[in-house]
A = this chain, B = another copy of it.
Amino acid sequence: MSKALSHPEAEAIDLSAVLDALRDPIRRAIVLMVAEQGEKRCSSFLHCATKTNLTYHVARLREAGVIRVRVEGPARLITLRQDELDRRFPGLLPAILAGARQDPPLARLVESA
């Protein structure tokens, strides 16, 4: 039986956890790319970090409530919890995404995916 990936409820999303999740450039790159291109699989980010390390970063984003991960066959598909997040912390995610877009090295990471 496959383990159910745990996601916090929308109302339980914690500000410290979200800021903590988004303070890392690799994690911001993942989030930015999903924001711009929609659902992505983990392997789309192998140019950012090793496989093991990606598992770690994706788990942090998921546990913070920033992304949702669903299992489809052998792959994990990642989406942004944009609406839920914006209801809980209005304006926060858009502001951070805008900041991420201004960052050339980060934008380059997103390009190269």
Contacts and interface: CB of A to CB of B under 8 A. Distances in A.
Query: What is the count of identical protomers in the complex?
Result: 2
A99 B95 contact: no
B103 A98 contact: no
Q: Number of contact residues on A: which range applies? A: 20 to 34
Main secondary structure of the interface of A (DSSP, over half): helix
Contact of A96 (B15, B20, B24): B15
Interface-central residue, A23, A28, A88, A100, by most chain B CB under 10 Å: A23
Contacts of A91: 91, 94-95, 98
A22 B99 CA distance: 15
Interface of A: 15-16, 19-20, 22-25, 28, 88-92, 94-96, 98-100, 102-103
